Amino acid sequence: MRGRGYRIQHTVTAALKITVLLVLASWVFAPFVSVVLWSVARKWYWPSLLPQELGLDYWYEALGLRRGYALTAAVGIIDALKTSIVIALIVTVITELISLPTAYALAKWRIPLKPLLVFLFLMPQAFPLQPVYVNLLLIFYRLGLAGAVPGVVIAHIIPCLVYAVWINAATFKSIPPDYEESARVHGAGPLTTFFRITLPLSAPGLIASSVFVFLYSFDEFTGTFFIGLPNVVTLPMLLYSASGYNMQFASAVAITLLIPSIIFMVVLERFLKSEYIAKIG
């Protein structure tokens, strides 16, 4: 029979597990709860733990449905959202187009000076990007790209390209060469093989990298700050400028910023999971 010692030990283990989960959950979710509360707080005077009065006023204001007392920002949330989405879409398309051939070559071919190339493609991840943006601003002043959307797009492409190349190269590498070789043996040319065999097989990986790039650009702060301001106001820029004078409005913007990443992550997780299951099943 199970002894008393065993029961006590079991209770202690269970209590420890629950404590671990609670501590971790409050650590992870408390700041999130805080920003959500701020975005719907109408009146919140200390020392109250929760707001005294709730309301969606700041959301109406933020969404431009109502002109309010706090709306001093030059750009509304809708305009900023549009700018952000347009930039992120352009960045995603250009980045994917540029990264595909490079990723393919890195994954499938023997390339001279490969270590050097690999190092170059790792640099933007390893070293701080800010000094690059600072000097890019200097260069873009002269070219008239500072404070303009194309300049911001270029700034975003730098880190995105590196991520896209690595993710896409890993995807191409994961496709067994047998598929391509048998297509070639059966008479398909290299381009036909790529478009009919390689590309469809790597679709999940390419979609994943596109989503990743889109979100990176959508959330990007530093590059836009140096290259884009004051003319190009994306959501992160709006959040930054609002957080200085209006906590509630800034909190509403912060939550808006989260929406696409959460949507994409949920969709992507589902998508990749079924893909994965299909592979082993």
Partner 1 sequence: MSVSLDGVTKRFGSFVAVNNVSFDVDRGEIFTLLGPSGCGKTTVLKIIAGLFRPNGGRVYIDGRDVTDLPPERRDTGMVFQSYALWPHMTVYENIAFGLRLRRLPEDEIRRRVREALELVKLEGFESRYPIQLSGGQQQRVALARALVINPKVLLLDEPLSNLDAKLREELRYDIRELIKKLGITAIYVTHDQTEAFVLSDRIAVMDRGRIVQIGRPYDIYENPRSRYVASFIGSNILIDGVLKGVRDGYGVVRIGSRTEILGVLNSTDPTSLIGKQVTVVIKPEAIEIRKGATGLENLFSCTISRATYMGGTVEHRAQCGEFEVKFYTPSDSRIEEGSIVELHISPRRTIVIAE
Partner 2 sequence: MDRNSVKNSIKIFLMLIPSLTILLSVYLYPFILAILISVVDSSGRLTLEHYSYVFTVYAQDVVFTIAVCALSALVSLLISISIASYIRLSLDEGFRKILNWIFRFPLFIPMVVVAQMMRTFLAPHGFLNTLLAQIGFIELQEAPNLFDWRGLLIGFVWKQTPFMALIILSGFAMVSDVHIDAARVLGAGRLYIVRRILLPMARGSIAIAFALTFASNIGTFTLPYMIIGGAKPTTMTVIMAHRVTYFGDWSIANALGVISYAVVGLFSIAYLREAVRAGVYERERV
Binding residues for partner 1, per CB under 8 A?
Answer: 2-3, 6
Question: Which pairs count as long-range contacts for 237-243, CB under 8 Å and 24+ apart, including other chains?
Answer: 237/80, 238/73, 238/75, 238/77, 238/80, 241/73, 242/73
Compute CA distances 213 → 33, 52, 93, 209, whole Å.
27, 41, 9, 6
Q: Which of 53, 262, 274, 276 binds partner 2 (CB under 8 A)?
A: 262
For residues 209 and 164, give the distance between their C-alpha atoms in angstroms, rounded to a whole number.
6
Residues 41-70 that bind partner 2 (CB under 8 A): 46-49
Residues 112-131 that bind partner 2 (CB under 8 A): 112, 117, 120-121, 123-131
- Residue 71 as a binder of partner 2 (CB under 8 A): the answer is no
For residues 78 and 84, give the distance between their C-alpha atoms in angstroms, rounded to a whole number.
10
Give the nearest distance from C-beta 191 to partner 1 in angstroms.
Answer: 46
Peptide linkage before 112 cis (omega within 30 of 0): no
- The tokens of 184 are what? 């070639």
C-beta of 2 vs 186, nearer to partner 1: 2
Unique residue bearing structure tokens 């906590």: 247
Binding partner at 179 among partner 1, partner 2, none, C-beta below 5 to 8 Å by kind: none
- Residue 21 as a binder of partner 2 (CB under 8 A): the answer is yes
C-beta of 10 vs 196, nearer to partner 2: 10
Secondary structure class of 68 (helix, strand, coil): coil
Q: Which of 54, 78, 93, 139 binds partner 2 (CB under 8 A)?
A: 139
Left, alpha or beta for 233 (phi > 0: left; psi -120 to 50: alpha)?
beta
- Beta partners for residue 41, in sequence order: 54
Residues 1-20 that bind partner 2 (CB under 8 A): 17, 20
Give the nearest distance from C-beta 13 to partner 1 in angstroms.
Answer: 11
Binding partner at 231 among partner 1, partner 2, none, C-beta below 5 to 8 Å by kind: none
Within 10 Å of residue 178's Cβ, how many Cβ atoms?
8
Residues 147-176 that bind partner 2 (CB under 8 A): 154-155, 157-158, 161-162, 165
- Residue 34 as a binder of partner 2 (CB under 8 A): the answer is yes
Binding partner at 58 among partner 1, partner 2, none, C-beta below 5 to 8 Å by kind: none
Q: Which of 12, 15, 24, 89 binds partner 2 (CB under 8 A)?
A: 24
- Beta partners for residue 54, in sequence order: 41
Tell me the per-residue interface mask from 173 to 212 with partner 2, x by CB under 8 A, - otherwise.
----------------------------------------
Give the nearest distance from C-beta 209 to partner 2 in angstroms.
Answer: 14
For residue 53, the 8-state DSSP code is E
For residues 228 and 195, give the distance between their C-alpha atoms in angstroms, rounded to a whole number.
37
